[in-house]
Structure formats: C-alpha cells, structure tokens
Structure 1
Amino acid sequence: MRSAEHRHVGDRESTSCGTSPPPVWNVRAQMTISAFLEGVDLAGKTITPFVTYAVSGMGNVQDGYRGSLPTSELRPGLAVRGEEASTAAPVLEDSLRQTRLIR
C-alpha cells in the first residue's frame, strides 16, 4: 500500500523492519520494501541494506534505495547468499561491527 503521506520514524538512531533480510528478486529490492521506503520519512537517517539472494548478490538494491532515499545516508549493504545464511553469522557480525550497529 502506498500513501502520499509519509510516516515519521522518530528520533531513533536505528530501527529495523521485518524479522529477516528481504530477498533480492531479479536484481531489485522487493516491491514491499520499496513501498515501505516510500511510505516513511527517513530523512537524515542512516540506512544499511541487508539482503539475501540466490544469484544476483546486492543487484541494483543500492541504486534503488538511493533513488527512494535521497535525503538519507546510504551505507554499503550486506548481501548473503540464501544457501549460506546458516553459516553467515561471522560475516553478519563483522558487518554490524563495521557499521557500528553492534560493538
């Protein structure tokens, strides 16, 4: 559902949506993620994409996010191959430390 009205996410330093990373479909972020990004006010927020994939890696997700979030800081994202997700904890933890989301 798309809305002309943006919802403000507040002054939180970080927030997450969903319980798992969204998969990349045909090198693009899912339409539900695109609709979410267009429906909330993330101005001035720092965004770090995290996706799963089968073939395309990060695909065009960064470009799509950049277009939807022109007033946000977009950090390099992390793409985890779906078949390797069960062993990706060390890579995920390293990425989270690099982006200062965990210590």
Structure 2
Amino acid sequence: MKTLVAYFSHAGQNHVNGQIVELEHGNAEVLAGFAAKACGGDLFHIERAQLYPADYRECVKESVAELKSKARPELAADRDVSGYDRVIVVFPNWCGTMPMPVYTFLEGHDFAGKEVWPLCTHEGSGLGQIESHFAAACPGATIHAGLAIKGSEAPASADAVAAWLA
C-alpha cells in the first residue's frame, strides 16, 4: 500500500505542559517521522506560504483569526495524492480542529477511495470533533479512527504510532 504522510507542524514557541517552550521541531513533525518510518511512507510538509510567527501568542492570534474567518491560506507547496492509497495526516489540534492550512490541503485534493488516518498532537483536548471534520473535508474517503498524542509525549511515542498503523 503506497502511503503519504502529510504533516503540518509548528516549530518555535509551543505550549507544552502548561508552559511556553522553544521547540526546534514541532511535535507533529516528530510524529510524522515515526509514522513514515513505521509504514515506509513518503513525507510531505504542509506549510503555509506565509509562515506563522514563531512567537506563541502571535501565532495563536493569527491562527484564531484564520479559524474565525474560515480562511484557506495558500500553501508553500503542494503534493499530488493521486498515486497514494493511504494518506496519514499529522497536525496539532488548534482550537479543537485542524490548523487552516490542513483544510487547504485536504479540500484541494480528491481523497475518494483512499484511506485517511488523522494523527494529532494536543495538550489536553484530544481529537475533539476532528474525525468528523476529516469526513467533511474528504468526501468518499475511508476515515480511520484517529490517534491523539499529547505533544509533550510525542518524542516517546514511536511505538504507539506504529501500533496504531499496524
């Protein structure tokens, strides 16, 4: 089964265990690496054309404004998903849903007949309603039960990701 691991991740300042910490690699990027290794998938970084601020509070302000306006920001690059049977989408839970660039990516492709696996990081909110958001954004796809991993636990979650994909 040909697999794409598409991920959105935010490096820089992140909220981890109730504190703002500086991360060289965002937690979702770490999990995406584990997923790609577990299934031999290709990696694709979903990245907004205009990067979010590294400062946590500024990033939150900008991402909340996008959410409220239902923005679909331009991406820095795109990836053709037509040659893949399974697409694992890795991202942080921002305000109970996916970051808006993930919506841009999902809504810009036809996932009909494909398996889509949502994998999110969070700091206490879990998956929320994300699986239903995936179903709406990917009509005709088989949406697998998602996996939510606390961001602070991401570096030690390789086995959990591999078991979920098995």
TM over 0.5: yes
In structure 2, the residue matched to 1:41 is 110
Residue 14 in structure 1 maps to residue 86 in structure 2: yes
Distance in 2 of aligned mates of 1:50 and 1:32: 15
Percent of aligned positions with the same letter in both sequences? 30
Larger Rg: 2
Query: Deviation per CA, 1:40-96, whole angstroms, max 9, x where unpaired?
Result: 111111101011111210111101111111211111011110011111111111111
- Equivalent positions of 1:6-85 (< 5 A) are 9-15=81-87, 21-85=90-154
Q: Which amino acid aligns with 1:71?
A: G
The normalised TM-score by structure 1 is: 0.77
**Correspondent of 1:90 among 145, 159, 163:** 159
Residue type at the aligned position of 2:122: Y
Cα distance in 2 for residues equivalent to 1:63 and 1:14: 18
Contact 2:88 2:116 in 1 (8 A): no
Which structure: greater strand fraction? Answer: 2
Write the distance in 2 (CA, Å) between the matches of 1:15 and 1:72.
10
> How far apart are 1:11 and its partner, in Å?
3.3
Aligned length: 90
| TM-score of the pair, normalised by structure 2 | 0.49
C-alpha offsets along residues 9-36 of structure 1, whole Å, 9 cap, x if unaligned? 223223456xxx3100111111111111
